[in-house]
Amino acid sequence: MRRYRALLSAPRTFPAPAAAASRGRAIAAAAVAALLLGTAPPAAAASQQDSPPPEGASAQASPSGEAESSSGSASGNPQALPQVAEFAGADAACVQSSSAEVSRTPWTEVSLGLEEARGMSEGSGVTVAVLAPAVAADGPALSDAVSGGSGEDCRGYGTLLAGIVAARPVAGSGFTGVAPAAEVVAVPTGDARTGAVTSGEIASSIGEAVEAGADVVLVGTAAWEAGAALSDAVADAAAADALVVAPATTAPQGESLPGYPAQDPAVLSVGSYGPDGAPLLSSPLPLGEGGQTARTDVTAPGAQVMGVGPGGGHYVGGGDGTAAAFAAGTAALVRAREPGLSAEKVRRRLTATALGAVLGAGADTVGRGPIDPAGALTGSPQAPEAPAAEGARFAAAPPAEGTWDRPVTTAVAGGAAFLIVLCALGAVVLRKGRARAWRPAAAGERISPDDAEGVGPGPEPR
């Protein structure tokens, strides 16, 4: 706890987060994304919260994670996209407005099966509050979707989250929000330049969101320490039937910490996975000194995520906040399709219909596993509190003791043997009957199969 208190008391100016993903995972993630986007995989890629390029540099990132110059990409490849980061230093330059767009479908659309989900619901009539430093609604994808937005979003992160939730379809764009018919209420939360936020600021913004009539409250950036006011705000939201969705972790200084209010059981806590399907959190985070670990309910895309940003163009971002945005959009789909479900039942629906086991990860890092929007729209909760089993590689060899059911197997084998005997007897009768032209033997007539064909009519009966 001393480390968390020290972070809380430190000045609210943060250095740019350091890259943390391993080279192997980065290459795998970029390769999968490249396969979906049709681009060549790069030699290496950055992590979910890459540091912005040094001042004066022109390197940008494509949706596949490939570093390219600002002059664009080679013919046939998607145009390079600028990156947005959740946190930045106090002296860092703001993200530049961009109109660059990619017409190809991003990997997140395929991973979540959003086309199928939108065929059942688009979130109409549902309001999602986005708690972020700012949301710029100056692009065509968000201009009629956001209320309370500002004309400037220094970090671009709030705009990215709002777009993930409810960006409208735009001609020539491959990106559409999870719930394109939902309404977004922007609630300014945290420092507009650094992205830093306290539990008190989140608590106040949750209260504003509830007063605005939000059905779903997306906490874009988590606090790293709990507070009584935050707990009260979550309880008030639950009483108002508003579902709070929050990032499972936060990393203001590059090191992942348990996020708040995600540790509250009434909140849908969301972790991240990359284009390769692997969770970005490699091990559970300790929670205090009692041996407990930070809780995660489900996971969603949180690396190499393409979305809209300031100016209406496409940007690339990541972090548990983006994952929470996908979950919040999914909650909007469910609430629109089944308006009678309470916020708690929606939370249970999303956890109960998650995809389950993840290779190499336990329930303490991925919870119930990746969300399934289409499944959430068609399924119903079945033992939602049971955690997902740890993933394991497929083994072709069967268990040594076998897996057959003795009574069923015995009955099938016995029936098959009876049919074989019956068929054999039938074959003998058929052969002899054909040989005698199916003429019945007369009384006292002796006949064998060898002379059956030469036998004429039998003697007249007496």
Residue 74 has a pLDDT of 34
Residue 55 has a pLDDT of 35
The position carrying tokens 């809209």 is 308
Asked if residue 327 lies in contact with residue 303, where contact means CB atoms within 8 angstroms, the answer is no
User: What three-state secondary structure class fits 133?
Assistant: coil
Residue 359 has a pLDDT of 65
Q: Give the Cα separation of 63 and 44 in Å (integer).
A: 14
Asked if residue 187 lies in contact with residue 131, where contact means CB atoms within 8 angstroms, the answer is yes
134-190, pLDDT tens digit by residue?
999 999 999 999 999 887 999 999 999 999 999 999 999 999 999 999 999 999 999
* Both structure tokens of 47: 């992590």
Q: Which run of H or E residues covers position 315?
A: strand 314-317
For the chain, the first-to-last Cα distance in angstroms comes to: 115
Q: Give the Cα separation of 154 and 194 in Å (integer).
A: 9
Longest dimension (CA), the chain: 125
CATH fold label, 2-14+84-378: Rossmann fold (3.40.50)
Domain ranges, ordered by start, for the chain: 2-14+84-378
Residue 291 has a pLDDT of 76
Residue 431 has a pLDDT of 77
Question: CA-based angle 326:164:179, to the nearest 5?
Answer: 75
Residues β-bridged to residue 244: 217
5-41, pLDDT tens digit by residue?
444 344 433 333 333 333 334 434 444 444 444 433 3
Q: Give the Cα separation of 124 and 183 in Å (integer).
A: 8
DSSP 6-57: HHHHS-S--PPPPP-S-HHHHHHHHHHHHHHHT-PPPS----TTPPPPPTT-
Asked if residue 29 lies in contact with residue 276, where contact means CB atoms within 8 angstroms, the answer is yes
Q: Which of 144, 148, 177 is nearest to 163 (CA)?
A: 177
DSSP assigned state of 220: S
Asked if residue 27 lies in contact with residue 44, where contact means CB atoms within 8 angstroms, the answer is yes
Residue 351 has a pLDDT of 96
Looking from the CA of 352 toward its CB, the CA atoms found within 13 Å total: 15
Residue 295 has a pLDDT of 93
Averages of pLDDT over each 10 residues, the chain, 462 residues: 42 36 40 41 35 36 40 44 94 92 96 97 98 95 93 94 98 97 98 96 98 98 97 98 98 93 98 93 82 91 97 96 98 98 98 83 84 91 50 41 59 84 81 73 63 50 50
Q: Give the Cα separation of 140 and 172 in Å (integer).
A: 12
